[in-house]
Amino acid sequence: MIYKDILDRLETIANDHLFIQKFGYGNLSDIEVPDNEEPPLYPYMFINPVNINQDRRFMNFNFNLIMMEQVPDGEDNEIQGQDECITFIQDVLAKFTNSNNNYLMDVQLPVSITPFKERFQDSVVGATANVTITYAKALDLCDPRFS
């Protein structure tokens, strides 16, 4: 269950972070926006799957790691919010890489990070990181599911 293990690990890292308040996963349309009854929980970390590539020796899991938060209007606030989201992404990548007890799994570096300002039902700023996690898994027939 490599895919689920990666997602569980990312969720645990988000939940253990002192500032990240919410974790989500899915298509971009699955990003939760606040309704009139519930206050928004930010910063919000959302994992959007992109693709999985398998070669002879490795599986590469590609995700968009989206970190967003609300800030008061104003360019300085927006830039500061984007800066904080970039820092939170760095925290997640560092924790994933440096606390990894699975030597078969690693984050491919460098990671491309893009700041953004977006309007859903509320205005948010943040950053998106295109992350590839490599898992050493050979493409072979040594699998007990075949007779």
pLDDT tens track for 83-97: 999 999 999 999 999
Q: Is residue 121 pLDDT above 80, yes or no?
A: no
In this predicted structure, what is the pLDDT of residue 140?
Answer: 73
CATH class of 2-136: alpha beta
Rounded CA gap, 56 and 46, in Å? Answer: 30
Average pLDDT, the chain: 89
pLDDT tens track for 30-58: 988 766 556 668 999 999 999 999 999 99
Rounded CA gap, 5 and 9, in Å? Answer: 6
Give the global pTM. Answer: 0.89
